[in-house]
Structure 1
């Protein structure tokens, strides 16, 4: 679990980060601060793992605030000013997001921060169990919910940095489960890894064409090292 604090004088910036973070179940907001002095007080009273920090704030800038912290948490800078990036990295920030930033760029920053903060230790909270796999379904954390995933509804799984995208018939869930966990526990008679980033349901494949398979409307690449495995099954 990563506890984060937003420090920004613009309310809309808080809403954007909150909306993005709601899709990543291991991120938990612990507070909102609208200037550096509020943040100082908050950090004195609470434990925080990650700051989303704006630079241009009244009275005390984000970087001047950062210099006052003896043991700062991980920092992702969120700003409209690209000219301060070098100074930010000199202050050992994890990443520098230029507003407006996309959800994909946000996830990239979180992945980078996890690498630095956790040294690639597992942060995943709900491992798939053998019993769940044998029962034809498993429970998966995603979107701050606990989803029961039935094998027959599962189209394919895509690795997405430290996350996975789990594609279902009528839904897509972003989860902190590792793709390697799925590979170990999904039944090999029904599911096949065809790329370092993709596991597919065999009976959902419409056709194979060249180096791609079609599932629903999704064209999924076949990795070079997985071609022999594909040929054995089809």
Structure 2
């Protein structure tokens, strides 16, 4: 778990950042500060990994306060003023977010700050899975998926159903996105609508694959390839 705090004099900024962070289950809020003095007290009391830091605050600016810290945690600046970006990077900040910033841009900053399992996004897919797991969004939450738990994936229009050993998750990601992400040595496309975990296959009979209590059809164009598994 990664601990974070928000240092900003605007309550709405706290709500936006906290709302984004709630979508990421590996982030945990440990406090909020509305000026540099509250921030100093918070950093003395809590173990903090990331600070979301505003610059334009009363009495002491964000950068003025940052310079007082001996061993600061990772800093992600959140500000409406782009002219201070160079100074920020000279202070070794992780990223510089200009308000208002989107969730994808926020997520990119988080990726820079901490080493986390890959989160699938529709506009960018990374073929490398960290620690054999990744996150997908379903039911307004991000679920961590361990590849060894996947039985098969079923296309469902613009969605996909990911069947795991103990549950099924409906995600907005298309099966083509998931196929690109998963290791081709361990996952097979057996139908235009089905992707299966090779090690989970119990039986291949006729035009069907059996995995636990599920029967998955084999598409005509995929049958010749599947037959090579039997040789």
Same fold (TM over 0.5): yes
Counterpart CA distance in 1 for 2:97 and 2:63 is 14
The answer to whether the aligner puts 1:168 opposite 2:179 as a matched pair is: no
Inter-partner Cα distance in structure 2 for 1:16 and 1:78:
11
Shift of 1:179: 8.9
Given the superposition, is the C-alpha separation of residues 104 and 152 from structure 1 closer, same or farther in structure 2, using an over 3 Å criterion?
closer
Q: Please point out which of 198, 203, 208 is paired with 2:192.
A: 203
User: 1: distance between equivalents of 2:112 and 2:135?
Assistant: 23
- Aligned residue pairs, count: 167
Q: CA deviation at 1:171?
A: 3.3
The equivalent of 2:75 in structure 1 is 75
Partner in structure 1 of residue 152 of structure 2: 151
Distance in 2 between residues matched to 1:109 and 1:140, nearest whole Å: 17
Partner of 1:25 in structure 2? 25
Q: Deviations over 1:2-39 (max 9, x none)?
A: 11111001111111111111222211111111111111
**Root mean square deviation, CA, Å:** 3.8
Answer with 72-81 or 13-22: which moved more: 13-22
2:25 partner SS: coil
Could you tell me how far 1:150 is from its partner in structure 2? 6.4
User: Structure 1's 104 and 144: CA in aligned 2 closer, same or farther, altered over 3 A?
Assistant: closer
Contact conserved, 1:22 with 1:144, CA < 8 A, in 2?
A: no
Structure-2 separation of matches of 1:106 and 1:146 = 19
CA distance in 1, matches of 2:28, 2:130: 14
Q: Say whether the 8 Å CA contact 2:154–2:193 is kept in structure 1.
A: no
Spell out structure 1 runs of 4+ moving beyond 6 A: 146-150, 178-181
**Which residues of structure 2 form unaligned runs of 5+?**
116-128, 162-169, 195-221, 227-231
CA, structure 1 residues 48+153, in 2 after alignment: closer, same or farther (shift >3 Å)? same
The 1-side partners of 2:30 and 2:5 are apart by 6
1:95 aligned partner: 95
Unaligned runs of 5+ in 1: 116-122, 129-138, 157-166, 191-201, 206-229
Name the CA distance, whole Å, in 2 between partners of 1:95 and 1:87.
Answer: 12
* Structure ranking higher on relative contact order (CA contacts 8 Å, 6+ apart): 1
Distance 1:155-1:98 versus aligned 2 partners, 3 A rule: same
